[in-house]
């Protein structure tokens, strides 16, 4: 029975694979093949999305394949998980990429599908699926980081709308966003149960944006200030004072995307061992000349392989249908640690050349390695810090007693 | 646990049930207190063999179930949890692998059925110095009219006192340190000229020092080919290492789970000590290591079953990762238990001691880091 079913699935997959190949051949602009620069433009200013990139976005948006598993009625592809996997494989094989990305696709859309009213889904999902409307996240505040539920940006009821006052920080690409999904306090007498989840337009009076310059020299995050920002009550997602449940679900989407996308893709640059042979040299036996460094490169490779094998194991266990694996709780911390260690080792390997900030004395690779090392320090802070992840493992997986009444 | 077949799940559950019911740590303690020379309980071993676990990797034609390395690994993991003392790893994993991979038809026919039914116990007699160094073989095999004459000494031979069959590496050419010139022999442990002394180790398992004084063996006792036994030995050792890694994973898991339970019940300053974040984060760190270690151990065992080309790399990866983890967990088990963990009455010491002998066996973490770097070409 199950074998017959899986055979049927396999046949359907073959047919779908042919369909995908044909469509990609007809629609993916060849000029974009393997164009990393174009991929990076996706998340930048709208004015930069032009020419073939814009064409590709329109085609993918029209097909719904940027969000392949969303229902077609909301602008998605209406595909099964297996079909989405086939699509992904074929895109990779063709050198294509998904031209629609960001918090709307990754986090807010899936959450709205679960918690939104029919009107809200009709209003927002198509814009996300087509890439035309871009979203940003208003969660963290200067006084509410790891303890997110202590947030104090307030929304006061005024007839058919709320007035929002306060500020948000670490808003990724807030300057490029059209809409914000935002956690606000609607009841100051309760902590978790006084939070509501609202959405509103960024381009309106009372919203002020200030980019934050980071240690890496770039400004991917903003601080956003609200003064009497009008938010219609129809823009409340989930019940009044029931926003924390919605937010927790959204954070799950954020973390799972982070691990799958960030921590496990493997070598982005040159393997450390090769880099070390170039900068540090080899001994007569062909080993990296610095034996202590050599062993630390081993440790990094060992951890990286162990993480990759764990990702594979979790995927296999998921196929077995035994529910979510406890192993997935560890991935954010270890995945990010591997990347941070790798960046530290790369810097050390390059020596003086790994300390350049800018200028012609350093190669582009050297300079970008330095900037990535700095940017990577955020990996263990955002999306639930290393410490918060450990709290979650200790409490939810190991069942250790809660030290406080916090989240 | 990765995706297992229904048969593998049944095997694992059977091993788990038997170990909990019939071979808890208390059984190991009783064995230790009885000071039996072979350092395992013969009745337990008979029960293990009767369930077919000694023949899991042995082909059906020789009386085994040909069920693969991952399957045997699952059994070793469950028995490792309760520190079950048995020759399963040395005989059913290490020695059976030597015969399956390199044995002649008559060697297989002679030994494999007996190994599979548990009536014969085999072991690997490889190391001679203070550390695992399989190429540093000084024991000599000199050609004679009828075969070879063996002279030399082997240390740290697991189950050395109980063994009926020794898989011995000896030098037929070259110098200690050379990979060329090593030959493997299947030697009956009762051959004249063999001396066996018990090595009383911290873990109270059955290790021995074995001496060879003019031990005559026939030409038919060679496993593989003369002088080029190295690559075969490396493959055999990788199977032994993978099996031991599975046992270490089981022991580390149990040590961890015992410790987490203690954190929940031990009250100080008016609250369970497990509510302190300093301890919670160390526990979360150990849990993380254990999940990673499991992935590497399973990958190594699967790679052997699938005949994958990266067995050596994955086995070293597993021995490193599970070695790091068992080291950490066994130390934390003592530390987090505090004073009670220092007493002989508590089981923590057993896990600590077993962790260190497993760590040394078939290459410690330094050995395998070096090996990993070499395989990876740097």
What pLDDT, on a 0 to 100 scale, did the predictor assign at position A49? 85
What's the whole-number mean pLDDT along residues B32-58?
A: 96
pLDDT, average across residues B9-29: 97
pLDDT at B373: 97
What sign does the dihedral B180-B186-B191-B196 (CA atoms) show?
positive
Span B125-184, pLDDT tens digits: 999 999 999 999 999 999 999 999 999 999 999 999 999 999 999 999 999 999 999 999
Nearby residues of B245 by Cβ (< 8 Å), 6 or more positions away: B296, B297, B300, B315, B318, B319, B322
- What is the pLDDT confidence band of residue B1, given thresholds at 50, 70 and 90? low
pLDDT in tens, A375-393: 999 999 987 899 999 999 9
Residue B317: list chain A partners with CB under 8 A: 302, 305-306
Pairing relation of β-strands A135-138 and A179-185?
parallel
Any idea which of A214-218, B42-46, B49-53 has the lowest mean pLDDT? A214-218
Token pair of B352, please? 């600590």
Among the ranges given (A252-261, A302-311, B238-247, B352-361), the one the predictor scored with the smallest mean pLDDT: A252-261
Provide, as residue numbers in chain A, all residues whose Cβ is less than 8 Å from the Cβ of B274: 400-401
> Within chain B, how many helices (H) and strands (E) appear?
11, 10
**CA distances (Å), origin A389, targets A146, B14, B134, B325:** 10, 35, 43, 20
Q: Which residue has the higher pLDDT, A328 or B118?
A: B118
Distance (Å) from the C-alpha of residue A388 to the closest C-alpha of chain B? 10
- Residue B252: pLDDT over 90: yes
- B260 CB near a chain A CB, below 8 Å? yes
pLDDT tens figures, B291-329: 999 999 999 999 999 999 999 999 999 999 999 999 999
* DSSP annotation string for A357-403: -SSTTS-HHHHHHHHHHHHHTTTTTTTS-HHHHHHHIIIIIS-PPPS
CA distance A369 to chain B (A): 21
Query: Measured between CB atoms, does A317 come within 8 Å of chain B?
Result: yes
Are the beta carbons of B113 and B157 closer than 8 angstroms? Answer: no
Q: Which residues of chain A have pLDDT under 50?
A: 1-5, 260-268, 405-407
**Nearest alpha-carbon partner for B203 in B362, B89, B85, B94:** B85
pLDDT at site A284: 94
Residue A256 has a pLDDT of: 67
In chain B, which residues have their Cβ closer than 8 Å to the Cβ of A310? 291-292, 295
Q: Indicate yes or no: CB of A294 within 8 angstroms of CB of B287.
A: no
- Mean pLDDT for chain B overall: 97
Q: What is the pLDDT at residue A35?
A: 73
Token look-up 């390199």 returns B102
């Amino acid at each position: 029975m199950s074998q017959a079913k899986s055979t049927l699935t396999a046949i359907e997959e073959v047919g779908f694979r042919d369909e995908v190949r044909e469509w990609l051949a007809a629609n993916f602009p060849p000029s974009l093949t393997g164009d990393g620069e174009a991929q990076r433009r996706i998340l930048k200013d709208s004015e930069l999305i032009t020419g073939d990139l814009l064409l590709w976005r329109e085609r993918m948006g029209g097909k719904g394949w940027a969000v392949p598993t969303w229902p077609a009625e909301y602008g998605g592809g209406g595909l099964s998980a297996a079909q989405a996997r086939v699509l992904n494989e074929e895109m990779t094989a063709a050198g294509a990429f998904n031209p629609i990305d960001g918090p709307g696709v990754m986090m807010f859309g899936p959450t709205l599908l679960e918690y939104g009213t029919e009107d809200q889904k009709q209003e927002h999902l198509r814009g996300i699926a087509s890439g035309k409307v871009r979203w940003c996240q208003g969660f963290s505040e200067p006084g509410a980081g790891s303890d997110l539920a202590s947030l104090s940006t307030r929304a006061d009821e005024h007839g058919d709308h709320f007035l929002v006052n306060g500020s948000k920080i670490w808003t990724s690409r807030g300057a490029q966003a059209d809409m914000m999904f935002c956690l606000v306090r609607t009841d100051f007498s309760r902590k978790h149960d006084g939070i509501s989840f609202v959405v509103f337009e960024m381009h309106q009076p009372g919203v002020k944006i200030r980019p934050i310059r980071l240690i890496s020299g770039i400004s991917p995050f903003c601080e956003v200030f609200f003064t009497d920002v009008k938010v219609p009550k129809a823009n409340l997602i989930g019940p009044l004072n029931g926003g924390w449940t919605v937010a927790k679900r959204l954070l799950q989407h954020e973390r799972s995307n982070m691990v799958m996308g960030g921590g496990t893709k493997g070598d982005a640059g040159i393997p450390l061992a090769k880099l070390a042979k170039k900068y540090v040299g080899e001994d007569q036996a062909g080993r990296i000349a610095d034996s202590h460094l050599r062993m630390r490169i081993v440790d990094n490779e060992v951890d990286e392989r162990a993480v990759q094998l764990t990702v594979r194991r979790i995927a296999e266990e998921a196929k077995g249908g035994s529910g979510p694996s406890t192993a997935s709780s560890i991935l954010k911390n270890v995945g990010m640690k591997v990347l941070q260690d790798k960046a530290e080792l790369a810097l050390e390997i390059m020596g003086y050349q790994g300390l350049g900030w800018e200028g012609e004395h350093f190669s582009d690779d050297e300079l970008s390695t330095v900037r990535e090392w700095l940017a990577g320090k955020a990996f263990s802070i955002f999306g639930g810090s290393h410490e918060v992840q450990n709290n979650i493992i200790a409490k939810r997986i190991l069942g250790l007693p809660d030290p406080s009444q916090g989240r | 646990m990765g995706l297992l077949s229904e048969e593998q799940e049944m095997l694992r559950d059977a091993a788990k049930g038997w170990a909990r019911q019939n071979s808890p740590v208390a059984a190991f303690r009783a064995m230790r207190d009885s000071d039996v020379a072979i350092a395992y309980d013969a009745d337990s071993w008979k029960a293990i063999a009767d369930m077919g676990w000694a023949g899991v990797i042995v082909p059906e034609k020789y009386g085994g179930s040909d069920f693969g390395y991952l399957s045997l690994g699952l059994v070793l993991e469950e028995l490792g949890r309760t520190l079950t003392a048995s020759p399963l790893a040395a005989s059913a994993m290490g020695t059976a692998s030597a015969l399956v991979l390199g044995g002649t038809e008559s060697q297989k026919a002679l030994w494999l059925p007996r190994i599979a039914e548990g009536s014969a116990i085999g072991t690997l007699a490889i190391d001679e110095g203070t550390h695992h160094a399989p190429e540093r073989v000084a024991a000599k095999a000199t050609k004679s009219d009828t075969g070879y004459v063996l002279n030399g000494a082997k240390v740290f031979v697991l189950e050395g006192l109980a063994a009926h069959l020794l898989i011995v590496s000896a030098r037929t050419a070259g110098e200690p340190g050379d990979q060329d010139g090593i030959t493997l022999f299947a030697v009956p442990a009762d051959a004249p000229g063999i001396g066996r002394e018990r090595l009383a180790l911290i873990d109270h398992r059955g290790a021995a020092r074995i001496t060879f004084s003019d031990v005559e063996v026939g030409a038919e006792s060679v496993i593989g080919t003369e002088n080029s036994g190295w690559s075969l030995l490396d493959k055999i050792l990788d199977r032994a290492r993978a099996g031991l890694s599975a046992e270490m994973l089981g022991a580390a898991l149990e040590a961890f789970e015992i410790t987490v339970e203690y954190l929940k019940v031990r009250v100080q300053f008016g609250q369970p000590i497990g509510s302190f974040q300093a301890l919670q984060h160390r526990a979360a760190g150990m849990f993380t290591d254990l999940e990673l270690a499991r992935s590497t151990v399973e990958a190594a065992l699967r790679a052997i079953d699938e005949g994958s080309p990266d067995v050596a790399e994955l086995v070293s990866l597993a021995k490193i990762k599970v070695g790091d983890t068992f080291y950490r967990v066994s130390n934390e088990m003592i530390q987090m238990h505090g004073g009670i963990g220092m007493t002989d009455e508590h089981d923590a010491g057993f896990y600590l001691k077993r962790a260190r002998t497993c760590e040394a066996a078939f290459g410690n973490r330094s050995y395998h880091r070096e090996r990993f770097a070499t395989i990876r070409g740097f």
